[in-house]
Amino acid sequence: MSFFISNAFAEGGAPALATQSSGTATIIMMVVFVIIFYFMILRPQQKRNKEHNNLINSISKGDEILTSGGLIGRITKISDTGYLVISLNENNEVTIKRDFIVAVLPKGTMKSL
């Protein structure tokens, strides 16, 4: 069995500096990772959330919208509970939650489709 497994031999002692880690270097590295995490992930996400909240708060009756499900419709009724009714055409109306609005479309988009 020793044919497949090589023998391991211990080497001489390593220098004392190589086995010790610096506490300040570890703290600096962690701070750098936190800063990178903030600017690469948290800050853009907060900016996106703020823009989406502004979009949701700026909608009004008669706006043409696009939902996250791909529906395009005109807002016919807005309730205080966070829901709104959109008209997909003359015959169909759908009630959705405000949070599902992705974009406000320019006027006349529904007629051009």
Q: What is the mean pLDDT of residues 100-110?
A: 92
Count CB neighbours of 65 within 10 A.
Answer: 23
Angle CA(45)–CA(48)–CA(54) in degrees, nearest 5? 140
Q: Is 101 exposed, middle or buried (0-12, 13-18, 19+ CB in 10 A)?
A: buried
Query: Closest Cα partner for 104 from 24, 84, 42?
Result: 84
Q: What is the pLDDT of residues 3-53, one digit of tens each?
A: 777 777 767 655 555 445 678 888 999 999 999 999 999 999 999 999 999
Residue 6 lies inside a defined structural domain of this protein: no
In this prediction, residue 19 carries a pLDDT of 45
Q: Under a CB-based contact definition with an 8 Å cutoff, are residues 95 and 77 in contact?
A: no
Number of domains in the chain: 2
Q: Using CA atoms, how far apart are residues 67 and 101, in angstroms rounded to an integer? A: 4
Q: What is the mean pLDDT of residues 50-63?
A: 94
Residue 66 phi, psi dihedral angles, 5° rounding: -120, 130
Residues 30 and 68 in one domain: no
Residue 98 lies inside a defined structural domain of this protein: yes
Residue 4 lies inside a defined structural domain of this protein: no
Report pTM.
0.67
In this prediction, residue 7 carries a pLDDT of 74
Domain that holds residue 86: 60-113
Q: What is the pLDDT of residues 67-101, one digit of tens each?
A: 999 999 999 999 989 999 999 999 999 999 999 99
Residues 88 and 72 in one domain: yes
* CATH number of the domain to which 69 belongs: 2.30.30
